[in-house]
Amino acid sequence: MTTLHFVLPDGSSRDVPATPGHSLMETAISNGVPGIVAECAGSLACATCHVFVDEAIASRLGGPEGAEDEMLDFAAVERRPLSRLGCQVKIEDWMDGATITVPETQV
């Protein structure tokens, strides 16, 4: 099983099980991770599942492209080099132990 480490806006953290093929957003929502709003339910029409991924994820997946890249410009918290929309990052086995940081706000 793959486990992800979510760092929450208050500084606390939560380890959650993650199923390969599901998105970071789906994983956060199904495990009750606070701070992920997901207003558009993963249809790439908002930026309310904005997260900061760790270097391991970023280096293997690369950065956001196309519509995701554009949508990140509308995130409530300014985007950073490791910003991604959780709905666009699919869980893979190699992500086990990765750290995902939730921004202070999504709206």
Q: How confident is the model at residue 79 (pLDDT cuts 50, 70, 90)?
A: very high
Mean pLDDT, range 10-25, rounded to an integer: 98
Q: Thinking of the domain 2-101, which architecture would CATH place it in?
A: Roll (3.10)
Residue 97 is predicted with a pLDDT of: 97
Mean pLDDT, range 62-70, rounded to an integer: 96
Q: How confident is the model at residue 78 (pLDDT cuts 50, 70, 90)?
A: very high
Q: What is the pTM of this model?
A: 0.95
Residue 88 is predicted with a pLDDT of: 98
Spell out the residues 6+ positions from residue 95 whose beta carbon is closer than 8 angstroms to its own. Answer: 2, 4, 18, 56, 57
Residue 1 is predicted with a pLDDT of: 84
- Mean pLDDT score of the chain: 97
Spell out the residues 6+ positions from residue 18 whose beta carbon is closer than 8 angstroms to its own. Answer: 1, 2, 3, 4, 24, 27, 91, 95
